[in-house]
Structure formats: C-alpha cells, structure tokens
Structure 1
C-alpha cells in the first residue's frame, strides 16, 4: 500500500478529522517519543467505541490523501498516528501498532493502525505479508 493516495475517501467530517489528525501527528513526531506515546494513549482513552473496519479504511485513505499536501515525509508512522488521532477526534478508538512487516524476502519496520480485535487497517496483507507488533497502543 502506498503512503500517498490520490483517491478522496470518507465523509467531509472524516476528511476534516484526517487533516487535523495528520497535522497533530506531524507536530507530535517532532517531540521526544515518550510524549508521542502519551498522546496516543490519551487518544485511545478518548475514543469510546472501536471504529468499524469499513470506516477505518476510509479514514486511513483520507489521512493518506491529506498527506499528499505535506511537502515533507508522510509515511507509515505519520499516517498511522494521524489515523489514530483522527479517530479519537471522531470519538472512536483505533490501536496504534509499531513493529515489523515481512514476507519471504524483505523485512521492514512498519507502523499501522488496527481496529481492536481485528487486523491492520488499510494495509497490504495478501500474498504472505504479515504484520507483527512490538508495541501496541
């Protein structure tokens, strides 16, 4: 799955939350990591109910679409944290996962959002791609 999306997804409210979540994530990721973790834990407490998978996919797409406008880096760490923060702004909850993604040849560090009790959202998981979380917030 690419870091940027040219497809505009989600409702107007979801796109607005995606823009605010990504902006907040970009600011937070300039701070020490302990502050980022605290903010993600706070966002998890704010979200009352888990987001369903279809709306979570749309929210990930909206954050990736918003990332096109940012002139700097907006890769997996920024988009996944932005998605979690956008869900919290909508009163919903997503997990923020940091770990590895691998298939037979490559292994890479990766960050993703997931619905609690479900798999990664908006990620390429077919053809042997596996996600293993080292830290789940």
Structure 2
C-alpha cells in the first residue's frame, strides 16, 4: 500500500460519515487484536445489519473518511484496518460493503491486500485505473 493510499490528507464525507468512520476504525482496531474467527463473525453480523448497499460515490467518500481518520491513530492503519473500518462504518450507517482479502497485482510487485467492495461491484477507493488487478481470496 502506498503512503498516498494509506494516509489521506483530504477530509471527505459528511459529518455522519466521518463519525461512523471514527467508530468503525476504532472497532476494527479492537477486532483485529482478537482471533480472526471472531473478526469474521463480527463482520458477518455487521453485514446482516446493513441491508442496503451504498451508492458508489458515498462508498468512496466513506473509505476516504476512514483513511483520513487513520491518520490520528499512532499505530498501523493500513489496508486491513481501513477496509475493515469502512465495512463496519457502513454497517453503523445501515449500509453494506463487502470486506475482501486477497492479492493485488501490477507488474512487478505482488502484494497481499485487503479492500472494501460494493456488493456485486468492484473495489472501492482503490487505484484500479493504473493497472492494478485485485484477486479475491476471501469475501466476507
């Protein structure tokens, strides 16, 4: 993950989206300290709470709001934390995003990656225009 992608300096989203982003990221940071099965169970529960998918532009703003909130955290707030935070923030707003774990390819680097995705759509807030290809290993 590039530093531009990890730490957004632009404050985006409406006030409710920014509040949900803060709570979602805080909850994600706690859940990622637990065994992974508990994290998966919590995400599945959160997806049931969010029944309606987000509009694509609102989903992008929410992911950017979570990235911006991650700047305040003194520890690691990279792709795993921000994508999980976005999924949980969407659930707090009564909306739904998928949490995807997999790999991101662009010759020559190949890296493990996590991202938020619209149900039935593509990655949200990711640089897919530059030739990056996302291959999903697990969708929750």
Once residues 105 and 126 of structure 1 are traced to their aligned partners in structure 2, the CA distance between those partners, rounded to angstroms, is 16
Structure 1 position 126, deviation (Å): 1.4
Q: RMSD of the alignment, in Å?
A: 0.7
Q: TM-score, normalised by structure 1?
A: 0.98
1:52 and 2:55 correspond:
yes
1:87 and 2:90 correspond:
yes
Q: Which residue of 2 aligns with 1:114?
A: 117
Q: Which residue of 2 aligns with 1:74?
A: 77
Q: Which residue of 2 aligns with 1:96?
A: 99
Name structure 2 gaps, 5 residues minimum.
Answer: none
The alignment of Structure 1 onto Structure 2 pairs a total of residues equal to 137
Deviations along 1:61-84, whole A, 9 cap, x unmatched?
Answer: 100000000000000000000000
Structure 1 segments of 4+ aligned residues over 2 angstroms from their partners: none
Structure 1 position 48, deviation (Å): 0.9
Structure 1 position 128, deviation (Å): 1.7
Q: TM-score, normalised by structure 2?
A: 0.96
